[in-house]
Structure 1
Amino acid sequence: MPTVTAVRSFAKINLGLRIGPPRADGFHHLHTLYQTIGLFDELTVEAERARMTEIHLQCSDPRVPVDGRNTVYRIVEAALQAMDVTAHVKIFLRKHLPMQGGLGAGSANAAAALLGLERQLGIALPGAQRFALAERIGSDVPLFLVGGTVYGHNRGELVMPYPDIPETPCVVVAPGVGSSTPLAFRAWDERVSSLTPQAAQGRLDELSRVYASAFAPTGPASEIGASGASGALDAGDSVPHESGSLAGNPLPALVRTGMENDFQEVVFSQHPFLRDILHALQGDEVLPREERAFTASLSGSGSSLFGLYGSTAAAEAAQARAQALGVRSFVTTTLSRKAYWGGLFV
């Protein structure tokens, strides 16, 4: 077994997110299209079998809890129980991604820790069990066991691998303010209190049709999750498409039909300056079309925003516009499923 396993935990953005009616368990139905990107945190994992389990988690950011409140700690604890193994586990988490940023950082950390632990102990959990563990820890965790372009529904934890969009330059802005997902959901519920459950469900169905149309004729692969077809996708498998061709790039169709994030107006009303950042990412209409964003939006429940561009030069120009507003911004790219799994272990 390797002495230390180093793992990157890549971030995600949401290429559209629509919220449905609240459920009896306190969660909401939602539909979204996740996309992994090249920004990441780093974890090192050490584990050896022992008579008693001890988990030691350290983090470069003192604001991050290192006990049972942390997704990494919780998934390691649950995974050892599922493996019926006791072990001494040491994990160091080097943070680069913002907290409460809408980039799935905590969920990505959990998935990376699980995969690192499996490699350290030489135990690979069966697919269904792995996804069941991920679902218990958080709604976004399962997507990071797939990577690439991923459709999510129910709470977001039931995931389907979609054909990967071509590698696309991306700018991510971290405004430096936290956005609470539970508070964002409550604000959304207040905003749409007059919407009937049937109308709310209709909005979800509409977005599903948009995604299905944009990705036709290749279509998605099978659903993955504890209640789905857990064997549908192995790590790093790709859903084929005509790489580089317009037919193989669903982005134009997604942009035409709409990639709205329901959280956007809710979060913007709480943090109005985010509108200025969005405008900077989009680019002024006086700019040539090729220098403006294909699309720009809030990611998840925020507060991070992103833009997608036709060239690295256009992305770098957008980064400069965002930095002129005094916010941190990063140029990266979208990651295909193959690139995601190829870059996971260092």
Structure 2
Amino acid sequence: MTTVRSYSKINLGLHIGPPRPDGYHHLATIYQTIELHDLVTVTATVSGETSITLRCQHPGVPCDERNTAYKAVAMALDALETKAAVEIAIDKRLPVQGGIGAGSANAAAAILALEAELGRQLTANARLALAGGVGSDVPMFLIGGTMLGIERGEETFPLPDLPSFHIVTAFPEVGVSTPQAFRDWDATLTQNAENDRLIEFRRRVAMAFAGQPGVSGKAGDLAEEPLLALVRTGLENDFETVVFPQQPSLRALKSALEEGSLYSALSGSGSSLFGLYCTEEAAQAAQQRVRSLGCEARQTRTLPRSEYWATMFI
């Protein structure tokens, strides 16, 4: 039996490009892993026939092939050319469809736990390719820390790690339809304008991290400079343009998070939001402001790559 902390993520800026032939959109984003997590436990025994069972206490989580962890394990067994009896248990501690990648993180955790159980590993490239076939956000959880995501988000590249910031995540009860958010966005810009925005975002990322071989540290020292450089150049999440007019309560929550923050934004297409803070006191104050608006708020911190991997397996 192997148990893995299935850490979640936020998006430090997200720019939307034009639609692709496959129906997805070109994207550019900075992913950042955070300490909030589910627990994924896998038990696997080599067998003459493959069987997969999945259990989860959350009623909103499917326990069949619709589940990303189930799908990931099935694909990994095929890639490993192995048949096994596999049991997956997900202790769901994160919101479902909350914009922080919980389902995608479960899939990545299941792959890693399966490999540990079987004593066999895919190559790093094969594992990333498989993860991209499961879902756009899955590959980033096989890297961790601060990352650049491009194309539909599945092409992920490690950046020098930002320091560990205090963070407050807000989980509104209202939902956001990601397909509708993309349709609304497409109605606002021409494809040429969308391409220009993607190119500009990638240029800003390159400039912000230029000359930073490794910037991990505690928030508040010079290591935070790449984030501040991005913020000064207009770091933002394009989804806010179309989501906030439909859900005004989300704009109010962002305002509550902004006070005293280095940066705050919608995560993914929402509906979760977050704020980054240099001190625990500032984070606690933000958490209280969000809760006063009747919204669930959790205080946590960002997770650099080395700590992500050092603490993943229990």
TM-score, normalised on structure 1? 0.88
Structure 1: state its 5+ residue gaps. 219-238, 284-291
SS at match of 1:254: helix
5 Å-filtered alignment, 1:194-213, equals 195=190, 197-213=191-207
2:102 paired with 1:71: no
2:131 paired with 1:157: no
> 2:270 matched to which residue of 1?
302
> 1:266 matched to which residue of 2?
242
Residue 279 (structure 1) aligned to one of 229, 249, 255? 255
Change (3 A) 1:121 1:329: same
Which whole-Å CA distance do the structure 2 matches of 1:343 and 1:306 have between them? 23
5 Å-filtered alignment, 1:57-136, equals 57-136=54-133
1:240 alignment partner AA = G
8 Å Cα contact 1:243-1:249 kept in structure 2: no
Which whole-Å CA distance do the structure 1 matches of 2:154 and 2:67 have between them? 18
8 Å Cα contact 1:15-1:32 kept in structure 2: yes
2:281 paired with 1:313: yes
Which whole-Å CA distance do the structure 1 matches of 2:312 and 2:166 have between them? 20
Aligned length: 312
Residue 293 (structure 1) aligned to one of 261, 267, 285? 261
Identity across the alignment (%): 53
SS at match of 1:249: helix
SS at match of 1:339: helix
Change (3 A) 1:162 1:19: same
> 2:14 matched to which residue of 1?
17
1:18 alignment partner AA = H
> 2:24 matched to which residue of 1?
27
Which whole-Å CA distance do the structure 2 matches of 1:317 and 1:243 have between them? 23
**Deviation digits for residues 214-273 of structure 1 (CA, Å, limit 9, x no counterpart):** 11113xxxxxxxxxxxxxxxxxxxx62374542663111111112210011211122111
TM-score, normalised on structure 2? 0.97
Which whole-Å CA distance do the structure 2 matches of 1:31 and 1:178 have between them? 23
1:306 alignment partner AA = F
SS at match of 2:225: coil
Q: CA RMSD in A?
A: 1.2
Change (3 A) 1:30 1:242: closer
